[in-house]
A = this chain, B = another copy of it.
Amino acid sequence: MFESAEIGHNIDKRAYAREVPILRAALLEAQLDMAKLAQFPVIIVMGGVDGAGRGETANLLNEWMDPRFLETHGMGDPSDEELDRPEMWRIWRALPPKGRIGIFLGSWYTDTIISRVENRIKRADLDQSLESARRFETMLVDEGALILKFWMHLSRDRQKERLKILEKNPKTRWRVTKRDWEHYKKYDKFHAVADSVIRHTSTAEAPWTIVEGYDPHYRSLTVGRTILDAIRKRIDEAATLKNEIAAPPPLPSIDNLDILKTLDLSQKIARKRYADELELHQGRLALLTRHPKFKRLTVIAMFEGNDAAGKGGAIRRVTGALDARYYTVVPIAAPTEEERAQPYLWRFWRHIPRRGRMTIFDRSWYGRVLVERVEKLCSQADWMRAYSEINDFEAQLVRHNIVVVKFWLSISKDEQLKRFKEREAVEFKHFKITPEDWRNREKWDEYEQAVCDMVDRTSTEIAPWTLVEANDKNFSRIKVLTTLCQRIEDAMKNLPRT
């Protein structure tokens, strides 16, 4: 695989001096066109052998291009805020918005490769990690990103030579660390792991470009031209077709029987019993969230449901038991301008709390497969792929000891009508009913289909849906509270020892 990057590519000084000004001007222009369009971000991954010029190339690109629209991420040691969250959180917070370029010198491959070289993870873990990387990149590409991955290669002898040269020069000595030499000693292992990484993650949409790193002229021009061509091509294609559908649409319900129809919405809790149970379970939740073990957990509770199903009321019964300093309620409305410049999951990633805290989403990332699907705010391909993207997202949360609790509050069509009318009658509740609510109601069946597909495809063992019979508010609120308590108790029992 690396053979063609060991044949001694080089470009002589004069040819280089002739080419560079042309390339620079073209890169600057492409960058400005891209910034003006603001239609896609460019994500550049720089991987490779130590001493092969990853850092130098990144610096050179910064010199050649307009640094105002370019950000370089070294991804050194994670901060405590980063350690408190899933690994990918720091990648998400560093993603460039549309119109900008982000260069990742450390990436979602770095840890994996080094861990495998140092035998800290097994072959199977490597494969799993690469599969995640591939899925992450596919998602970014589907969301419009242009991904370019470079692997700077050096043969064994060349690497040794380069490290020695860098070490000799006082100006570059700081670049060579003990760790580089340790890596060099493991050249063969590193080579084998890299080979495997590149093979498994060179996809059509995010291929690796292997670059011989020995000659700086060749290396720089190759990387620069590859970036230029890719951006240009992408700008030219700008107004073309959306990606095709990758999977068949969910099965239509042919017998008109679905999971929602199996719910017994007549379940009730009478007033007196409700008051007792509310106190009991709010007390239980209060103690649970103040338990020392809770400091090691994170809870994400998410509320979806029919309009007027009582999400707000249920949320207030939960927050009523919590210490206000340790929870946040995030109402999901239309995305802001900064959020629209990022992949759609970005605006949820930014709200992932630190350990010891709870975040409650009032509506959520499932908007993609509910309202956006039914109202055709995104293409079929977009919401179709969202199921697995969401499953990947939630899996990352759960792997980090985050308890993900998902509620669907379900009411009958009649009950909804009753509540709508009630709201219209009570002046104080007027703000709660809008013409949009009435319009949504007309699409009841479509929403029902969307909900069933959502539950079918995203109720996983690690992050199951809890369907809540919500015709009776008392019943609904108690079910929410007890489910939440149960999930936290289970998670505390399963906490790994420190």
* Residues of chain A at the chain B interface (Cβ within 8 Å): 25, 29, 32, 36, 55, 58-59, 61-63, 66-74, 76, 79-81, 103, 105, 171, 174, 283, 286-287, 290, 312, 315-316, 319-320, 322-331, 336-338, 360, 362, 428, 431
Taken together as a complex, chains A and B put the C-alpha atoms of A399 and B390 apart, in Å, by: 45
Which residue in B68, B287, B330, B336 is a CB contact (below 8 Å) of A362? B68
- Once A81-B79, A283-B171 are accepted as A-B contacts, the answer to whether A72 and B428 lie under 8 Å apart by CB is no
List, in ascending order, chain B residues with CB within 8 A of A312's CB.
Answer: 66, 68
List, in ascending order, chain B residues with CB within 8 A of A337's CB.
Answer: 336-338
A174's nearest neighbour on chain B, judged by CB, is: B290
Majority-rule SS of A interface residues: helix
Judge whether A324 and B79 touch: CB under 8 Å: no
Judge whether B59 and A323 touch: CB under 8 Å: yes
* A198, chain B: closest CB distance, angstroms: 23
Judge whether A324 and B72 touch: CB under 8 Å: yes
Given contacts A68-B330, A103-B324, 20 further A-B contacts (CB under 8 A): A25-B428, A36-B431, A55-B323, A58-B324, A58-B325, A59-B322, A59-B324, A62-B319, A62-B322, A62-B324, A63-B316, A63-B319, A66-B312, A67-B319, A67-B327, A68-B362, A72-B324, A171-B286, A336-B336, A338-B338
- Once A79-B81, A80-B81, A290-B174 are accepted as A-B contacts, the answer to whether A67 and B29 lie under 8 Å apart by CB is no
A76's nearest neighbour on chain B, judged by CB, is: B325
* A71, chain B: closest CB distance, angstroms: 6
Taken together as a complex, chains A and B put the C-alpha atoms of A29 and B429 apart, in Å, by: 9
Judge whether B63 and A325 touch: CB under 8 Å: no
Taken together as a complex, chains A and B put the C-alpha atoms of A312 and B66 apart, in Å, by: 8
